[in-house]
Amino acid sequence: MPDLTIYRIEPAEPLHKRVPSRDEHGRALTDFMVLLPGLRDSPKHVVEELTGKMQLLFARYGHAVRFVELNLSLNLLWVSVKPISGIRYEIASALYDIYPGARLVCHI
């Protein structure tokens, strides 16, 4: 199961120091970001409901997802996955289904 961090209160180390770059077999992981416009301004119960849905979603993709972090202050979700063809778009689409405002920002 991926490491899903929902809230960061204190400053954290930069992502490049925390995000895994390789899977358990030494293969390079791939990353992408999803913008979640307006989430930080949503009522607490809405944020909690969405993060619960995200946890279920990422558990379903546990075979591929290696790291997830939601930065609520930036409305930004960072996801690191194994290099499986189409997985980034499949996950981004599933995120859109649970949060229609979600926008794929970029993938690396």
What are the sequence ranges of the domains in the chain? 3-7+28-107
Q: Report the C-alpha gap between 79 and 66 in whole angstroms.
A: 8
Q: What is the pLDDT of residues 16-29, one digit of tens each?
A: 778 888 888 899 99
Q: Which residues contact 53 (CB under 8 A, 6 or more apart)?
A: 98
Q: Which helix (H) or strand (E) holds 55?
A: helix 44-60
Edge-to-edge strand ranges of the sheet holding 76-81? 3-5, 65-71, 76-81, 30-35, 103-107
pTM to 2 decimal places:
0.82
Q: Which fold has domain 3-7+28-107?
A: Alpha-Beta Plaits (3.30.70)
List, for residues 44-102, the tens digit of each pLDDT value: 999 999 999 999 999 999 999 999 999 999 999 999 999 999 999 999 999 999 999 99
